[in-house]
Amino acid sequence: MAYANLNIGTVKRFPTPLRVQKFVNFGFIKRFHCDIVVLFTNDCERTVSKMSEQKKQTGLWPAVLVSAIILISVGILAMLRQQPPSQMQVKPPHDHNHNQPLPFEPHVDSPDESAKTDEPTKTDAEPAIGPKTTINDVIRTARSWTAIYESWYGKTAPDFTLTDITGKQHKLSDYHGKDVMIIFWATWCIPCHMEIPHLIALRNIVSTDKLAMLAISDEHTALVKRFAADRKVNYTVISANTLAMPSPYNSIRAIPSSFFIDSEGKIKIATEGVLSLDAIKAILQAE
């Protein structure tokens, strides 16, 4: 009986701790499960946040690159606008036969095109010409041209014989006793177009007895002849192979370029760039 009571008591005393243990175990599992969910959720949030930041940073690069390109382009355009127009053009080589007929109709600008003008344009400040002005003084006032071939100054100009577009021959040494201006140019040269009105004006005010003007182009004779007629050029125009001329004429690098030969047949100065009427007058009058 006592045994039976003991068993009954034991049985009655154990269920409560077991139920409590089960409840405690179930609560622990729930808390463990919740902790895992919370940790996983936090990791997901941090991962999504990092991905968003990376996308934002990655998305900024195209905008930064485009902005940099725009700024560089604006800077280049500003620099180009500030640069003055070129007063000379590089002279390309030509090796065609000047007397053969052209295989095409040469193009010459029409009289009403903007590149053509009958009035000289302002290219230089007027040099101060005095009784003792030297050629070095004129060089120091240059704005649109520069002196070249200085080692030839004072030396006898190499002689040559060329035929102009009308068929007349010109020998440099035949002009001994008068000044000679030799101009190297081309119909395609825009700076040369700018200089032509100044040369026409020069021919109008200085007689052929005092100054000979020989404008030499290495283009085809028909093209040069038509261009000269269209522009009403009043000075001697020659179509010739400049590479066959003696040095230093055959080494011209840019046009327009000019050689001034004094009355004794010596090279006074050589220039590269556009010469205004005032600059030419100053060179002719300088000692």
Length of the chain, in residues: 287
pLDDT digits (tens, 9 = 90+) for 126-170: 444 556 789 999 999 999 999 999 999 999 999 999 999 999 999
Which residues fall within 8 angstroms of residue 261, CB to CB, at 6 or more apart?
157, 172, 175, 179, 180, 181, 182, 267, 268
Over the range 86-109, which residues count as b (16 or more CB within 10 Å of their CB) and which as e?
A: ebbbebeeeeeebeeeeeeeeebe
* Cis before 191? omega within 30: no
Per-residue pLDDT at 84 exceeds 80: no
Under the banding of pLDDT at 50, 70 and 90, the label for residue 241 is: very high
Nearest of 205, 206, 214 to residue 173 by alpha carbon:
214
pLDDT digits (tens, 9 = 90+) for 25-71: 444 444 444 444 444 455 555 654 665 666 555 566 667 677 778 87
Per-residue pLDDT at 276 exceeds 90: yes
Per-residue pLDDT at 110 exceeds 60: no
Strand 145-148, strand 267-273: pairing: antiparallel
**Is the model more confident about 66 or about 125?**
66
Q: What's the token pair of residue 55?
A: 């996308």
Nearest of 130, 147, 123, 132 to residue 267 by alpha carbon:
147
Q: How far apart are CA 186 and CA 250, in angstroms?
A: 15
User: Residue 60's pLDDT is what?
Assistant: 64
Nearest of 188, 183, 161 to residue 259 by alpha carbon:
183
Fold of 135-285: Glutaredoxin (3.40.30)
The structure's pTM equals: 0.63
Specify the DSSP class assigned to residue 148: E
Lowest mean pLDDT among 119-128, 200-209, 260-269, 274-283: 119-128
